[in-house]
């Protein structure tokens, strides 16, 4: 991504990535980055780290855990020195101890309430799963925040083509009906990277609007 003189943003090209900050439940103050932040939220094992790796063109930069609920930190990935991907802990995994769930729930809430640079939230949902209560609560909060929302239906390669089309339509209708307006939704496959270019387009738009707002 590079900003042109006319204020437009070129198609995303990842040249540099750095894991800059890892904030845990004992972190007293979250960083103020001063650059656009895009947060990645979703149920445990929804595929946040896998998507972030695919977007950054890095195979294992964001750690992918086989154990749901293991990630309990907020990870700030500085991309091309001009924006941050913020990987939030997954929610809704019952086997994690209750006190830990409460602690990192407060961590996530603290991030949402304190970040002055958060521009959008990407809500990840496994394409094979219907939204649960946690997903709906997260969607409701996102809608009330006024931030840009994108729902990413992950693991699209786990279902056949016709089933993928059906699931995307069903998810979009369910979520749009809940909010009373159309929800932007893109399906993504880690296997063939389908959907990645569409997500890049969304990120480019976020950057372009940030440039215009700062002019």
Q: What is the mean pLDDT of each run of 10 residues along the chain (215 residues)?
A: 44 86 80 94 89 88 56 87 92 55 71 90 96 88 88 96 96 94 95 95 92 74
In the numeric block, the tokens 């304190």 are attached to 114
Residue-range definition of the domain harbouring residue 25? 17-214
Residue 196 lies in a domain: yes
pLDDT at 6: 46
CA–CA distance, 84 with 78 (Å, rounded to integer):
5
Confirm if 56 and 101 have CB atoms less than 8 A apart: no
Q: How high is the pLDDT of residue 9?
A: 45
With respect to residue 3, please indicate whether it lies within any of the assigned structural domains. no
The CATH number given to whatever domain includes residue 147 is 3.40.50.300
pLDDT at residue 113 in the model = 85
Q: Is position 10 within any domain?
A: no
The reply to whether 171 falls in a domain is yes
Residue holding tokens 């947060």? 39
Could you tell me if residue 24 is inside a domain?
yes
Any domain includes 8: no
Q: What is the pLDDT of residues 183-205, one digit of tens each?
A: 999 999 999 999 999 999 999 99
For residue 172, the 8-state DSSP code is H
pLDDT, position 197: 95
Edge-to-edge strands, sheet with 37-42: 17-23, 74-79, 83-87, 37-42, 118-126, 148-154, 185-187
**What domain count does the chain have?**
1
- Residue-level pLDDT at 109: 81
Q: Which two tokens stand for residue 17?
A: 């990535």
Residue 5 forms part of a structural domain: no
CB 11 within 8 A of CB 93: no
In a domain, 93, yes or no: yes
Q: What is the pTM of this model?
A: 0.86
């Amino acid at each position: 991504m590079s900003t042109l003189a006319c204020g437009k943003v070129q198609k995303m090209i990842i040249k540099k990535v750095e894991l800059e900050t890892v904030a845990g439940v004992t972190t007293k103050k979250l960083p103020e980055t001063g650059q656009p932040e895009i947060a990645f939220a979703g149920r445990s094992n929804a595929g946040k780290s896998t998507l972030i790796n695919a977007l950054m063109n890095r195979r294992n930069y964001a750690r992918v855990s086989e154990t749901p609920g293991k990630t309990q930190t907020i990870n700030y990935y500085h991309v091309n020195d001009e924006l941050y991907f913020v990987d939030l802990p997954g929610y809704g995994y019952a086997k994690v101890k209750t006190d830990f769930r409460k602690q990192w729930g407060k961590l996530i809430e603290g991030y949402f309430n304190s970040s002055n640079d958060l521009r959008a939230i990407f809500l990840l949902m496994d394409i094979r799963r219907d939204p649960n209560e946690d997903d709906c609560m997260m969607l409701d909060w996102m809608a009330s925040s006024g931030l840009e929302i994108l729902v990413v239906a992950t693991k699209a390669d786990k279902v056949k083509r016709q089933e993928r089309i059906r699931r995307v339509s069903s998810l979009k209708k369910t979520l749009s009906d809940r909010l009373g307006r159309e929800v932007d939704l893109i399906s993504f496959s880690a296997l063939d990277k389908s959907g990645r270019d569409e997500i890049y387009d969304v990120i480019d738009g976020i950057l372009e609007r940030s440039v215009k707002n700062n002019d």
